[in-house]
Chains A and B, each alone.
Chain A
């Protein structure tokens, strides 16, 4: 276990290094001259050249990459070329907001998906299972911006149950904030529930049909007891890895949903800095997301390992 953890932790910097190369080259490849974009079409060539020098864009690419990398590692993320504020504060505040939204979505996703998956698995091949499976698949196939728009139109515009913007006015109570976040969180949940539920269903079917579940039922336990005490645990453990995958999806879904609901998270920031060629912000945001992504994968793996005694304790000392 400790060896696993060390190995995985050691792998993170290496992976991040590769990611940083990718991010750097990809952002460099965005067409158009950054300095000209910033200064506008009318600016003179001299001004553009001066800004290029100021931004260090005239230096060779390798120098710039290492400079940028050193900056990122030491926490000097530079200033946003667009907003003229330190990138670090910008990204970290936005990240905090995004995490709140993501956490809410996750908190909704887990019970909903587990319940649906369990119900489908215990009643597998019966109508309840069919409905849940088909619904999950269908919803999972619809992109989050589509479900987002539908939710927005129905619940915010027509029914007016929820505000259309995810951003609560300053000084609003936590409950109001929650109300503002509910719709965007819901569109993320709808996207992921089907996938997670499908995994839970599969492992539930396995557990229900497993010899041990049968043996336990033969000892005189009710179906309900078997499900509560044995099936539940055995079906949720394998599902942790599915949850890990879905968390990554959630991260991706944030971009569209934040934009749609006008929520100031990292997703929106990423998109805007890309459009506006705000390279320092773009690069830092991408890197932060990369770190986050890897931590999620690690956490999911770790959770699985901690939950499953077969993995946690290894082969038996018998």
Chain B
């Protein structure tokens, strides 16, 4: 075990005394100075977080989440200012502090963890020096500060703290960087811990580790915790209470369990409906995007700011802004028509259905795998309804056949002897952590990136490895949609010109108008340049362009990762629609299991360059599946603070040249076999293959018993047995 003792931290002076403990925000308003006058970004927001409690703040981007989080530490950009209200932390009026007092309050009582951990560290300074600097600020001598650093790093469960301390930030992985930033937050005993998208951009398994870490420390330090996130699932699992921000106002606020399972505000309900649930298929439910976008700060809004996008809006909504109303115990909603929203639980896996009953807030808010099973079952029959079993029984063989594909960068083999088949009209989802080789594989299919051995067949014809050597027809048949459309859309052309060009080069027969309309782009956007479009609109342009000709295969590399859930739903729906009407196949890459499961017919799981599992989406996600897949599923679902599922508890083993590549992290590793012999590829039901030594009965499955109960036990045995 690499876990170091959690005790023995440095005690910071507890600032403030008297008054209410925890964080109290009352009527907080923040405005920015702009060219057109003051723009209110946060408008009369109030909430309270008790020490040891976690409060989640959700909402689309542009709704004031970040501004609110910055106002809590009184760290607004230069053109921003608090225009009203108060922020009290353990009795200290933060907004009234003199500059010197503010600094010492920050040093003693505030800890902030941002999204981009790498960015929060000085790139030119060793990690240990940066942490020592904070101890020095707290009055420790140089030697004492230096001695304290390894202990601190051990506390955030970083292995080999002495060597980590000597590294520069860029020499650490994203997860390690985030641990260092958390360590910095722990140099004091903060009273307020602000987590601003702390795990966005991290792999699911790393995210899980970081969240577990935060979870453990949360109870240890007893601070009031504010978690800002766009990920409703995460907030549902972590938080006691939730506030939903819309246009700078609290649209709904209450216990996480109530808000996320029985939303009373149309906006909350719409957000929840936009998120695909793990195991839910596109055949079962069309995601509902929220039309339009939130008002820009400073925009004149009369009435309810959500009215233009709300299905329940009427004249009253357009005329007067609703005031907060009680909608249950400690549950407030700002809506004129609370009664219009059907009062039934939303069947989302982001928060546990009410039948789990009351308990500790964590337990209630966290879904269990038992529930996760349900959506899969729901999806399964609809898969059958979908008609032809995807990927098979289509005359003329598969659309894409990849055999023995290998790609190397220098001495590292990024894609190792991969076989992959995509049928006509089939969506193959590709998942795996960063560095697993999924993007390299996708690029190889499109003919980009380095060359290497292996064959790629499209419609039975061998494609040259480099896109430059492929004939025009093959180039037209394979299209690509990237995570960031900015890189691929010419900023100096209008959307119409971009689409017209694509129509010419791809020999499409329709018009830019038609293409745009099919991609859900409003006609007036055709004459805009990409710079004026939102992220979702740009992605729609990229999709419209990919479909300008008659693509056989569209490779989508994280096409929705950078988008808000409300926008993501629309783009996913568009992708599903275009697939259905055109019969095009997709190779769809995402780190988000729910998104992949939603869109894909089949799922391939990649680990360190190999495909370790492949099969029908429902079966792969539901199990029995590969231990690595199980860890991905567990990471995206399992409740926190639970022993076992945490990959960090598996003793790191060595992955040598032979044996299973997952052996180092596998909780079910069979010593003497897994680390010496390459696991066989076995077939588990129709078209479902798993690369593992375990027999069917031993493979983890998506039931509570297997994934969270059984998995830890072999892990424990492993720790005891000499490795």
Contact = CB atoms under 8 A, between A and B. Distances in A.
Contact of B121 (A212, A221, A313): A212
Interface stretch (B165-173, B211-219, B488-496): B165-173
A200 to B, nearest CB: 15
A62 interface: no
A211 B201 CA distance: 16
A216 B114 CA distance: 12
Nearest to A210: B119
A222 B103 contact: yes
A210 B123 CA distance: 11
Contacts of B120: 211-212, 215
Nearest to B108: A220
Contact of B171 (A218, A237, A318): A318
A234 B110 CA distance: 26
A309 interface: yes
Given A211-B120, A212-B122, A218-B75, A229 B133 contact: yes
Contacts of B104: 220
Contacts, number: 80
B564 to A, nearest CB: 21
A219 interface: yes
Interface in B75-97: 75
Contact of A219 (B107, B116, B119, B172): B107
A309 B75 CA distance: 29
B103 A212 contact: no
Nearest to B124: A233
A318 B172 contact: yes
A220 B176 CA distance: 23
Contact of A218 (B110, B125, B172): B110
**What's the interface size class on B, roughly?**
20 to 34
Contacts of B171: 313, 315-318
A36 interface: no
Contact of B114 (A215, A237, A307, A316): A215
A316 B173 contact: yes
A38 to B, nearest CB: 58
Contact of A309 (B110, B134, B168): B168
Interface in A31-51: none
B184 interface: yes
Contacts of A221: 103, 107, 137
A313 B169 CA distance: 11
Given A219-B106, A220-B104, A318-B176, A212 B137 contact: no
A220 B168 contact: no
B481 interface: no
Contacts of A307: 124
B614 to A, nearest CB: 29
A218 B107 CA distance: 8
Interface residues of A, number: 26
B124 A308 contact: yes
Contacts of B73: 218
B103 A214 contact: no
Contacts of B45: none
Given A211-B116, A221-B103, A233 B125 contact: yes
A310 interface: yes
Nearest to A207: B122
Contact of B106 (A210, A220, A229): A220
B122 A216 contact: yes
A264 to B, nearest CB: 43
Given A316-B170, A317-B171, A318-B176, A220 B107 contact: yes
Contacts of B133: 229
Nearest to B105: A220
B226 interface: no
A318 B180 CA distance: 14
A230 interface: yes
Nearest to B168: A309
Given A215-B120, A218-B106, A220-B106, A230 B168 contact: no
Contacts of A220: 103-108, 110, 137
A73 B301 CA distance: 78
Nearest to B138: A220
Contacts of B75: 214, 217-218
Contact of A215 (B103, B168, B176, B181): B181
B123 A215 contact: no
B102 to A, nearest CB: 9
A219 B123 contact: no
Given A215-B112, A218-B112, A219-B184, A310 B123 contact: yes
Interface in B240-277: none
Nearest to B120: A215
B124 A237 contact: yes
Contacts of B173: 316, 318
B197 to A, nearest CB: 12
Interface string A154-177: 000000000000000000000000
Interface in A175-227: 210-212, 214-222
A307 B123 CA distance: 11
A221 to B, nearest CB: 6
Nearest to B194: A218
A309 B124 contact: yes
Contacts of A309: 123-124, 168, 170
Nearest to B134: A219
A152 to B, nearest CB: 42
Contact of B170 (A230, A237, A315): A315
Of B105, B116, B133, B176, most buried by chain A (CB within 10 Å of CB) is B133
A310 B170 contact: yes
Nearest to B106: A220
Nearest to A222: B103
Contacts of A237: 124
Contacts of A233: 122, 124-125
A233 B123 CA distance: 10
A234 B168 contact: no
Contacts of B181: 215
Nearest to B121: A212
A222 B99 CA distance: 9
A92 B73 CA distance: 62
B543 to A, nearest CB: 32
Contacts of B122: 212, 216, 230, 233-234
Given A214-B75, A218-B106, A316-B167, A234 B172 contact: no
A215 B75 CA distance: 10
A240 to B, nearest CB: 12
Contacts of B124: 230, 233-234, 237, 307-310
Interface in B175-210: 176, 181, 184, 187
Contacts of B116: 211
Contacts of A216: 122
B119 to A, nearest CB: 4
A219 B112 CA distance: 8
Contacts of B114: 211, 215
- Select the residue from B112, B125, B170, B184 with max chain A CB neighbours within 10 A: B170
Interface string B106-149: 11101010101001111111000000011001000000000000
Of A210, A215, A230, A308, most B-chain CB atoms within 10 Å = A215
A229 B134 CA distance: 12
Contacts of B107: 219-221
A219 B194 CA distance: 12
16 contacts: A211-B119, A212-B120, A217-B75, A218-B75, A218-B106, A220-B104, A220-B107, A229-B133, A233-B124, A233-B125, A234-B122, A309-B124, A310-B170, A315-B170, A315-B171, A317-B171
Interface of B: 73, 75, 103-108, 110, 112, 114, 116, 119-125, 133-134, 137, 167-168, 170-173, 176, 181, 184, 187
Given A215-B114, A310-B170, 12 more contacts: A211-B120, A218-B112, A219-B137, A229-B133, A233-B125, A234-B124, A310-B124, A310-B168, A313-B170, A315-B170, A318-B173, A318-B176
Interface of A: 210-212, 214-222, 229-230, 233-234, 237, 307-310, 313, 315-318
